Structure 1
C-alpha cells in the first residue's frame, strides 16, 4: 500500500467535467431539435398496449377478488399473485434494479437469466411465507429475518457487528438530520454493494469464500454508506456553522487527494463531541476501504470519490438568489455526482472490468437524479436548495435561455432507450414503466390541482406530447415496482414502530412510576413500640433504581393484550416486584454471589447485616403472596390458580439458584447453561406473562405459547447480562462488573466466548420472535421488549 498516494484533483475533475459537458451538449442538441417527442410518442404507442386495459363487462363481473391498495404490502402481494401479475411485477422490478444499480444491459442473455433466477426466488419467498396470525407476520427484512439469512450465509458475526454499528450511528445523528432517512440510505448503500459482490461471484465459489466476500461487502458498504449521513447530510444541514463546514470540507478533500485522513483540529468545533465521533468513525471506514483496494485500482477509486465529493460541493455552494447560473453550471454537476456515486460502488469492491458498465452508468445517472429532484422539488425549494427544477421554477419567466428540466428528463429517457441501450424492448418497457409510475405517485401525493399546476409549468412546451403522457398517467396500469412498495412499507413500518416505541417508552415510565409509588411497605400502627428493621430493610431494597421489568410486562400484557383494568391488577404488579427483589437480596448474600453493589447502592447485607438480609428476603416473598391474595375483582378459582402457579415459580427459582451455586467452578455445557438460565431468568419472565393470562382466563394453548416465548426471552436476557458483565459499564449497570469471573462461574461468555454468546443471544431472539406468530393476540409490546433485551446497555 502506497501511504503517500496523491491524485491530481484538478486534472481528474476536469477530465470528468469534459465528459459530462460532451454528454450534456448531446442532450441539449436533442432537446433543441425535439427529436425525443417523435421518438417517445412511437415508443409509448407500442408500450401502452401492455398497460391500458379495456375490460369487458363480463370480465369485470368475473373479478372475484378486489384489488387492494398498494400501501397494504401483504395484501397487495397476495392480490398480484391471485391475478397472475406477480411474476411480471417482480420481473420489471428486478430488471430495473439490475439496470439502475448494477449497470447491466437487459438485452444480455446472462443478465436475463440472473434476473429470472432472482424473480423466482423472491416470488417463492413472498408467496410461501407462513404465519398463523397476519397481524403478527414477520416483516420482510426484519431483524430476525435478516439474521436468519445471515445464518444461511454463515455471516452471523457480520450481522451482529452491523446492527451494533447502526445502533451507534443512529444514536449519534444530530436532530437536524432525519435519522430514519439517514439509516435507510445507509442500508440501501450496503444492499447495493452486496448486490454487486453477489453478481461478481462465480457459481463454483466455495461456501467459505462466499461468506468471506459477503462479510467484506457488508463492511465495505457500511464504510462507503457512512459518508451519506456524516458528509453529505451533515454538510447540507445546519449542524455546522459556515466556518465549520469549510474546515470539514477541507478535511474530506485532503483525505481524498492524499489517501490519508488528517488529524482533527479540535479547537475550531462548537460541537466537539459530535465531530470527534464522526471523525473517528469516518477514519475507521476510510482505512477499511483503502486497505481492501487492489493496488492497481486504488487511484481510480480516489479519483471517482473526489469527483463525487467535489460535484456535490459545487452544487451545495449554489445560491438560489443568484439569477446568473448557466445551464452547464446547473446540469453538469448533477451528471457527475449521479454517475460517480454508482461508479464508486463497483470500485469499492475492486470489481473486474465490465464491458459497457462505465458508459451505461455514466449516461444513466442523470435520469435517476432528475426523477428524484422532480419528486423533491418543493422540499428543495423550501430549503433554498438549487436544483434544475427549483431554479427553473424561480427564473423561467425571467430567463428564456433556461433549459426546462422536465423536457430534458424525457430527452434523457429517449437517449437512454435508443442510443445507450440500442432500442432494446425490455429496456424501453422498464424505463417507461418507471417514468409513468413516478408521475402517478407524484400526482397522488400532490393531489389533482397541485399536479396540474406543476404540469402547467413544466410540460407547457409540448402540449401534444404532454397530453399523451397525462393519458398514460391517468389510464396506464401495471407500472408499479416492488422496490417502491417495499420502500413505502419499510418507511411506514419504521414510523409505526417509532410511534409504538415512543408509546411503549411513555407507558413504561408511567407504569414504573406507579409501581415505584406503590412499593414502599407501611409500618404497623404500634411500630413506635418496637423497632422494625425488616420493613426498613425491605423498603431500602425496593426503593433502589430497579428496572421494574416484570411488573411492567404484566401490566402491558394484562391491560393492552387482555383488557384487564390497570388498578385491578396493581397488587399483582407489586407481588412480582416483591418476589424479584427478594431473589436479588438472596442472590447478593456472601454465601451466594457476595455482591457489594445492587441498583447503584450498597447491597442489603452491606447496609444492614446478613441476618436482616435473609429475613427481609423471606418477608418480601410472603408479602408477594399477601398481595396476590388481595386481588378483589377476580373470582376465587382464578386467584387460587394464580397463587398455586406463583408458589411453583418461587420453588423453581430456588431450585435454579441452588443449581447456580452448585455449578460454581464447574464447566457447564451449552444445554446446561440454557436450562440454568431458564430457571434463573426465564421463570421470572414466564410468571410476568402467564399471571395476567390466568386472570384473563386464557386458554392452555395460549399459555403454552407464552411459556415458549418466556423461555427464549429469558435466556436471551441472561446472555445479555453475561455480556454486560464483561463489556458493560459499572455506572450504567448499577453493579460491579466481572463478578462472574470473580466467582468462577460458568456463563455463556466463558463457555462460548463473546462472539459465540452474541450468536446464542440472537438465536434465542429469533426463536422468541418466531414464537410470537403463534399468539392469538397482537403483541407489539413483546416485540419491543425483545428489542430492548438485546439492545440494552444496563
Structure 2
C-alpha cells in the first residue's frame, strides 16, 4: 500500500479535531467582541472614513452627470462602456481584482508584489473589456463562449485540455438531474476550474518557459475540473432531494472512506431508482480522485487529503441538521460554517501542490466566514423555504425562544472589523474592498427582495444596535460605486447558461418537428398502372429515403428560410425535397462497391446490397432528376430568382461530383492538409453552403450576407467531415448506423490518418471557431446556427 494511504488513514479525525479547535477559538474571539460591542467603535470610524469616497455631495457636475443614466448591468457591453465613459472603470476593476486576490488567492493587498500583479491584471482587463465592448454589442463575451475559450487555449498551447474539459462539462450538464439547479451547478464547477487556473498563473512569472507554462495550465484545467466536480456531485447532490435518506448515508460513507484510505471503494450492493445516476457519478468522481492523487507531491499529499476530509466532514455535519430541532448550540451552528468556508479555498491551493505562502492559510481561514455569512444572508429566503439550517435561518426561527443564540448579522460585522484590523492590519485598500463588498451585498439583497421585505428582515437582525444599523442603512441607500466585476460575471454567466439551455431545447425541438415534417414530404407515391421498372426505381428510392437520416441539410434550409428570412413554409417544401433527394443520391453513389463499398447506411443495409449496383446507380440518377424537378416547381418566387437558384444548384452538384472524384483518386495516397480540406469542402461543405445560400437567394439578401454564409458553410462542412472521421475510429456502430473503421479498411486518407486523433480534434475545433467567427458577420442573431455548429462537433452519429 502507498505510504500516503497510511498517513491519511491515521490522521483524518485528528485533522478535523485540530481544525475544530481553531474554529472554536475564532468563534469565541468574535463572540467576545459581540458581547463587549468593541468592534462597533472601530468599525463606525472605518465606515465614516470609507463613506467620504462613496457618498457624493450635490454639485452642478453631479446634476450634469445624472443625465448620463447608469445602464442596467444586464446590458453587459453598455455597462462597461458607461463605466469607462464616466471615469469609473479603473476603480471598478481595482476593487474587483483586489477582492479576487484576497478571496480566491489569499493575498494581502498591501504586499508590493500583490499590488504589482493587481495593476497588471487591471491593465489587461481594461484593454480586453474595452476592445470587446466596442466590437461585441449584443454578443456574449469571449470567455463565455466556446470559441473565445478555445482561441485562448490555442495561444497557451493547451487545446487538448480545453477540448477534454468541453466534453466533460457537456457530460456533467447532461447528467444533472431534475431537482438540482443546473445553471448554478455548472457555474460553480466553472468557477472552481477558473480559480485553480488563477492559482497556477500566480505561481508562474515571466521567466516560466512556454512549454512549462502550457504543461502547468493543462494540469490546472484537469485538476480544477476534478476538484470542482465535487460541488455538483457531492455538495449539491447531498443537499438536494434526489437521493433517499438511506442513499445519502451510503453515499457519504463512500466519500468518507475514499478520503480516509486514499482509495475509492466500489459501489457494492447499491441499487434503486438512482442507480444509473450514481453509476455515472461514481465513475467520474473515481477518475477525478485518481487524477488528483497522481498529481500530488508526496510531501504534501497528507495536506490535501486532510483538508478535503475537514471540508467534507464540516459539510456533512452541517447538512444533517434539521430546522425543527431547537437545541443546537452556537458552536454547532458556526464551527462547521467556519471550517467549510475556509477549507474550500485552502483545497484549491493544495490541489496544485503549491508551495507554502506566508500568511495564506491564516488569511484564508479568517476570510472564509466573511464570504459565507454574506452568501447565507443573500440565500436566506430560499434556505428558509427549503428548511435548510444556516445561522440566519436558525436565528430567524428561534431567536425569541433562545436569547443565547449569536446573531449572525451582528457577527458578520464583527468578522469585518476583525479582518480589517487584525488580519489586514488596518490597511486602507483592505478596508475599502471589504466594506465595498459588504454594502454591495446588502444593496443586491434589497433590490432582489424589495424594500418591505428587506426592512422586515433588518428589524430582526439589526435590532441590537440601532445607531450602528442606521449608519449601515444610510450607506446602503446612498453609497455608490460598490459594484463588482465578479458579480457582473456571475449574473451574466447564470443568464448565459439559462439562455443557452433554452436555446438548446428549442434547437432540438425544432430539429425534431422539422425532421418529421420533411419525412412526411419525401416519399414518392406509386400511381396505378405504373410500369414495373419505374415502380422498382420508386421502391428503391423510397427505401433509401426511409432510412434513419438526420435530415440536417433540409432542416437547416427550413430554419433559414422560414425563421430567419420569413419565407412561407409551404413555398419552400420543394426546395427541402430537392436537397434531401440530392444528398441521398450522393450517399447511394458513395456506398457503391466501385467507390466506398459500404454495407450499411442510416442503420440499414445499403441499396446496392438489397438490389444491385446498377439499380443503385439508376436510383441515384432518378433522385437527382427529381431534385431538379422540385427546384423548377418553386412557383411562388420570381422566375429569374428560381433560374438563378437552379444554376447555382447545378454548380454545387458539379463540385460535389468533383469532391467525390478527388476522394476516390486519393485512395492509397497520403494527402496534405490543404488537399484534404479541399476534398472535404467539395464533398461536404458545398452541401452545407447550398442549404444556407439557397433560401437566402429566394429571400434576395445582400451579396455580403451570402459571402458570410459561404464562409460559415466552408468551415462547418470541414468540421462536420472531421467529426465523421473521428467517429469512424472512436464511434459506436449501433449509434452511428454504419460500420466503424471503413476509412482504414479502404485505405482512405482522412484527418485522423494525417493528424492523429488529437490533431484532428484540434483541427475540427479550429474550423468550428472560424465558422462561429464568420457568423458574427451576419446582421442577425441566428441561435439555431450556433447550436447546429455545437451539434456538428459534439454529435455521436
* TM-score scaled by length of structure 1: 0.98
1:294 aligns with 2:297: yes
- Change in 2 beyond 3 A, CA 1:168/1:119: same
CA distance, structure 2, for counterparts of residue 131 and residue 424 of structure 1? 36
1:240 aligns with 2:252: no
Match of 2:151 in 1: 148
> 1:554 Cα deviation (Å)?
0.7
| Partner SS state of residue 298, structure 2 | coil
1:416 aligns with 2:423: no
| Partner SS state of residue 570, structure 2 | coil
- The Cα offsets for residues 178-208 of structure 1, whole Å up to 9 and x where unpaired, read as 2222121111111111111111113311001
Tell whether the 8 Å contact from 1:137 to 1:773 is kept in structure 2 after alignment.
no
Residues 381-390 or 743-752, more deviating = 381-390
CA distance, structure 2, for counterparts of residue 450 and residue 256 of structure 1? 43
Match of 1:365 in 2: 368
1:609 aligns with 2:612: yes
Match of 1:435 in 2: 438
> 1:438 Cα deviation (Å)?
0.6
Tell whether the 8 Å contact from 1:7 to 1:299 is kept in structure 2 after alignment.
no
Match of 2:131 in 1: 128
CA distance, structure 2, for counterparts of residue 269 and residue 782 of structure 1? 40
Tell whether the 8 Å contact from 1:725 to 1:739 is kept in structure 2 after alignment.
yes
Match of 2:777 in 1: 774
> 1:264 Cα deviation (Å)?
2.3
After superposition, where does 1:739-754 map in structure 2 within 5 Å? 739-754=742-757
Tell whether the 8 Å contact from 2:377 to 2:392 is kept in structure 1 after alignment.
yes
Tell whether the 8 Å contact from 2:308 to 2:343 is kept in structure 1 after alignment.
yes
Match of 1:179 in 2: 182
Match of 2:118 in 1: 115
Match of 2:676 in 1: 673
Match of 2:472 in 1: 469
CA distance, structure 2, for counterparts of residue 138 and residue 352 of structure 1? 34
> 1:724 Cα deviation (Å)?
0.5
Match of 1:497 in 2: 500
1:627 aligns with 2:624: no
Match of 2:761 in 1: 758
Match of 1:548 in 2: 551
CA distance, structure 1, for counterparts of residue 178 and residue 682 of structure 2? 43
Structure 2 residue ranges without an equivalent (≥5):
none
Tell whether the 8 Å contact from 1:266 to 1:272 is kept in structure 2 after alignment.
no
| Partner SS state of residue 571, structure 2 | coil
After superposition, where does 1:354-753 map in structure 2 within 5 Å? 354-527=357-530, 532-753=535-756
CA distance, structure 2, for counterparts of residue 380 and residue 573 of structure 1? 52
After superposition, where does 1:279-290 map in structure 2 within 5 Å? 279-290=282-293
CA distance, structure 2, for counterparts of residue 401 and residue 696 of structure 1? 74
- The Cα offsets for residues 221-268 of structure 1, whole Å up to 9 and x where unpaired, read as 111111112211221122222222222211111111122222221345
CA distance, structure 2, for counterparts of residue 474 and residue 555 of structure 1? 53
- The Cα offsets for residues 408-448 of structure 1, whole Å up to 9 and x where unpaired, read as 11110111111111111000100111011111111111011
Tell whether the 8 Å contact from 2:557 to 2:695 is kept in structure 1 after alignment.
yes
Tell whether the 8 Å contact from 1:761 to 1:790 is kept in structure 2 after alignment.
yes
CA distance, structure 2, for counterparts of residue 495 and residue 244 of structure 1? 30
* TM-score scaled by length of structure 2: 0.98
Tell whether the 8 Å contact from 2:81 to 2:133 is kept in structure 1 after alignment.
no
Structure 1 residue ranges without an equivalent (≥5):
none
> 1:170 Cα deviation (Å)?
2.0
> 1:355 Cα deviation (Å)?
0.8
> 1:156 Cα deviation (Å)?
0.4
2:204 aligned residue (198, 201, 206): 201
Residues 153-162 or 124-133, more deviating = 124-133
1:93 aligns with 2:80: no
CA distance, structure 1, for counterparts of residue 57 and residue 524 of structure 2? 76
CA distance, structure 2, for counterparts of residue 450 and residue 116 of structure 1? 40
CA distance, structure 1, for counterparts of residue 606 and residue 669 of structure 2? 26
- Change in 2 beyond 3 A, CA 1:529/1:280: closer
Match of 1:19 in 2: 22
Residues 265-274 or 224-233, more deviating = 265-274
CA distance, structure 2, for counterparts of residue 445 and residue 409 of structure 1? 20
CA distance, structure 1, for counterparts of residue 133 and residue 486 of structure 2? 22
CA distance, structure 1, for counterparts of residue 321 and residue 13 of structure 2? 20
> 1:453 Cα deviation (Å)?
1.2
Residues 428-437 or 373-382, more deviating = 373-382
- Change in 2 beyond 3 A, CA 1:402/1:758: same
> 1:276 Cα deviation (Å)?
2.2
> 1:525 Cα deviation (Å)?
4.4
CA distance, structure 2, for counterparts of residue 130 and residue 745 of structure 1? 46
Match of 2:276 in 1: 273
- The Cα offsets for residues 520-551 of structure 1, whole Å up to 9 and x where unpaired, read as 11224432777611111111111111111011
- Change in 2 beyond 3 A, CA 1:771/1:341: same
CA distance, structure 2, for counterparts of residue 525 and residue 90 of structure 1? 77
1:2 aligns with 2:3: yes
CA distance, structure 1, for counterparts of residue 596 and residue 533 of structure 2? 32
| Partner SS state of residue 372, structure 1 | helix
CA distance, structure 2, for counterparts of residue 199 and residue 44 of structure 1? 32
Tell whether the 8 Å contact from 1:138 to 1:773 is kept in structure 2 after alignment.
no
CA distance, structure 2, for counterparts of residue 238 and residue 62 of structure 1? 50
Tell whether the 8 Å contact from 1:7 to 1:303 is kept in structure 2 after alignment.
no
Residues 260-269 or 115-124, more deviating = 260-269
Q: How large is the Cα RMSD of the aligned pairs? A: 1.5
> 1:270 Cα deviation (Å)?
4.3
- The Cα offsets for residues 50-103 of structure 1, whole Å up to 9 and x where unpaired, read as 111234245423667432111111110011111111111011000000000000
CA distance, structure 1, for counterparts of residue 511 and residue 367 of structure 2? 50
CA distance, structure 1, for counterparts of residue 752 and residue 549 of structure 2? 24
Residues 150-159 or 137-146, more deviating = 137-146
1:104 aligns with 2:82: no
Tell whether the 8 Å contact from 2:4 to 2:302 is kept in structure 1 after alignment.
no
- The Cα offsets for residues 709-757 of structure 1, whole Å up to 9 and x where unpaired, read as 1000000000000000111111111111111111100000000000000
- The Cα offsets for residues 593-636 of structure 1, whole Å up to 9 and x where unpaired, read as 11111111111111221111111111111111111111121111
CA distance, structure 1, for counterparts of residue 49 and residue 91 of structure 2? 18
CA distance, structure 2, for counterparts of residue 350 and residue 537 of structure 1? 65
Residues 684-693 or 376-385, more deviating = 376-385
CA distance, structure 1, for counterparts of residue 112 and residue 663 of structure 2? 63
- The Cα offsets for residues 749-782 of structure 1, whole Å up to 9 and x where unpaired, read as 0000000000000000111111111112222111
Tell whether the 8 Å contact from 1:3 to 1:260 is kept in structure 2 after alignment.
no
1:320 aligns with 2:327: no
> 1:274 Cα deviation (Å)?
2.2
CA distance, structure 2, for counterparts of residue 485 and residue 182 of structure 1? 18
CA distance, structure 2, for counterparts of residue 644 and residue 575 of structure 1? 14
| Partner SS state of residue 291, structure 2 | helix
Match of 1:84 in 2: 87
Tell whether the 8 Å contact from 1:244 to 1:268 is kept in structure 2 after alignment.
no
CA distance, structure 2, for counterparts of residue 196 and residue 96 of structure 1? 14
- Change in 2 beyond 3 A, CA 1:268/1:378: same
2:352 aligned residue (325, 349, 354): 349
Tell whether the 8 Å contact from 2:503 to 2:783 is kept in structure 1 after alignment.
yes
Tell whether the 8 Å contact from 1:73 to 1:486 is kept in structure 2 after alignment.
no
